[in-house]
Amino acid sequence: MAVTPTPGIAHITSTIPGQAVDALQANLSGGYIFNPADAPAALYVDPTGPASTLGNGSSMAIQPGGTYYAIPGSTLPVSVASNVPNQAFVSVQWI
């Protein structure tokens, strides 16, 4: 089965610290989110709903230099949040 890699739907966190944004769309064949090694803070990722910067429940902290790999076939988007506004990250998805 052929897949087409494309940029994720977001590459920067909200202007409001702690507010979640969707980074990868739902119904993917796969994808990843990378928090660059020089990032100013952890990036919080949640595959089940809005990411929380508390890092609890289903939200997890991706430290600078870390990568999150999306769940193939998930029917939900993957969201991210940070305590730093406008934090850049890498997101790639394939459909």
Residue 3: predicted pLDDT = 84
Does pLDDT of 63 surpass 90?
yes
Does pLDDT of 32 surpass 90?
yes
* Rounded Cα distance, 45 and 2, in Å: 27
pLDDT (average), residues 77-82? 97
Residue 59: predicted pLDDT = 95
User: Average model confidence (pLDDT) for the chain?
Assistant: 95
Domain spans, the chain? 1-95
pLDDT confidence tier of residue 11, bands split at 50, 70 and 90: very high
CATH of 1-95, one of 3.30.160, 1.10.10, 1.10.40, 2.60.120: 2.60.120
Residue 95: predicted pLDDT = 83
